Amino acid sequence: MKAVIFGSTLAGIMGVAILSPAFPEVQRALNLNDFQVGLLITVFTLPGIFFAPLMGYLADKYGRGILLSASLILFSLSGFACAFADYSTMLLLRFVQGVGGSALTSLAVTLIGDIFEGIERAKMLGYNASVLSMGLAFYPLLGGILAEIDWRLPFIAFISALPIGLMAIRIKSRGHHNKFRLEINRDIIVAFVLGCAVFIFTYGVFYLYVPLTLENKFRASPILRGLVQSSTLIFTALVATRLGTFVSRFGVYRTISFGFLGYSLSLLLIPLSPDILTATISTTIYGFGHGTVLPALQNLLVERTSLESRATVIATYNSMIRVGQTVGPIFASLIGFNSYFLASLMSLILFAITFKFWKG
């Protein structure tokens, strides 16, 4: 079961991460402009905003196993087929792949919530977040190596999700209700808002402006920029494995608040760093925020939802994350370099709110 959970998480983040280094080769091979290359990302991420809640509802109605298996198989085969398609067909296949991938990570979290309880659940969510972060650090390297051989190979690599989909068929779970019901309470709403905010910061500031800062201020090479960001994700993975310890000692709410303090400090220090070493340390602090906030929010959602609507709620949370991923770059590009400081201030406010008013 753990292999299916962690494998689904790795597949869920594979859709863009492994392809990113190959995009220049794809562009040359298919004679595409920058906008056309960007559409290969957009048509994949867009379905997640709309289909993730539906996938969660179907998982609640018909059972986790059948929905997870179908999603993995669809994700795997449509992604694999892109390697042999022309551009127009590739866009259609990427959209279909996005539908299949829209709820993979949320279904993995749902399974953890179904199977584990208490501190063991928090530990498993931490391990799952660690696996996710290690995948995000590893996939760009793997994609670059495969693209050096042939631009099609990163697409062919999607077939690796097929065995996980076949394994998921054996998951024994039954549906619980026939009508759509999105369970809502204060904690769920707050988790939705905080999850969206985290990915506005991450996709708008961390992924957009950190590379630009490293290049413009320190003349860092692409490899060095990649290593700096990968080190952040590796530290995220290490911190996430200790989630059970944080939650048992401080409670889930205080754990979230400490993570936002890490975000705030990091986003303030990165643009003020005098050298590449200080900038690297500053980005690592961002990794502390990621390693605490994200799995803690997942733990909060699992604890505050019933078994009957858990998949729907977590999938809707995943949809809110996709909104943050979409809005973030627009937010940062409109504000410019000062988005560092605005995001830092917003994180500090969220730290103060969660630390003072939440109890748990």
The pLDDT profile of the chain, 360 residues, written as one tens digit per residue, is 788 999 999 998 898 888 877 887 888 899 988 788 878 887 888 888 888 888 877 877 777 788 899 999 999 999 999 999 999 999 999 999 999 998 898 888 888 888 888 888 888 988 888 888 888 878 877 888 888 889 999 999 999 999 999 998 887 765 555 555 567 888 899 999 999 999 888 877 887 678 778 878 988 876 777 778 778 888 888 898 888 889 889 888 899 999 999 999 999 999 999 999 999 999 999 999 999 999 999 888 888 888 778 878 888 888 898 888 778 877 887 888 899 999 999 999 999 999 876 654
Q: Where are the domains of the chain?
A: 2-168, 186-357
Q: Are 67 and 55 in contact (CB under 8 A)?
A: yes
Please state, in angstroms and rounded to a whole number, the distance separating the CA atoms of residues 167 and 33.
40
Burial group, residue 176, by CB count within 10 angstroms (0-12, 13-18, 19+): middle
* pTM, to two decimals: 0.76
Q: Do domains 2-168 and 186-357 have the same CATH topology?
A: yes
The values of phi and psi at residue 212, to 5°, are: -65, -40
Neighbours of 323 (CB within 10 A): 16
Cβ partners under 8 Å of residue 326, min gap 6:
45, 49
DSSP states along 113-178: HHH--HHHHHHHHHHHHHHHHHHHHHHHHHHHHHHHH-TTHHHHGGGGGHHHHHHHTT-------S
Give me 219's structure tokens: 């003349």
- Structural domain 186-357, CATH architecture: Up-down Bundle (1.20)
What is the CATH architecture assignment of 2-168? Up-down Bundle (1.20)
Tell me if 349 sits within 8 A of 260, measured CB to CB: no
CB 140 within 8 A of CB 226: yes
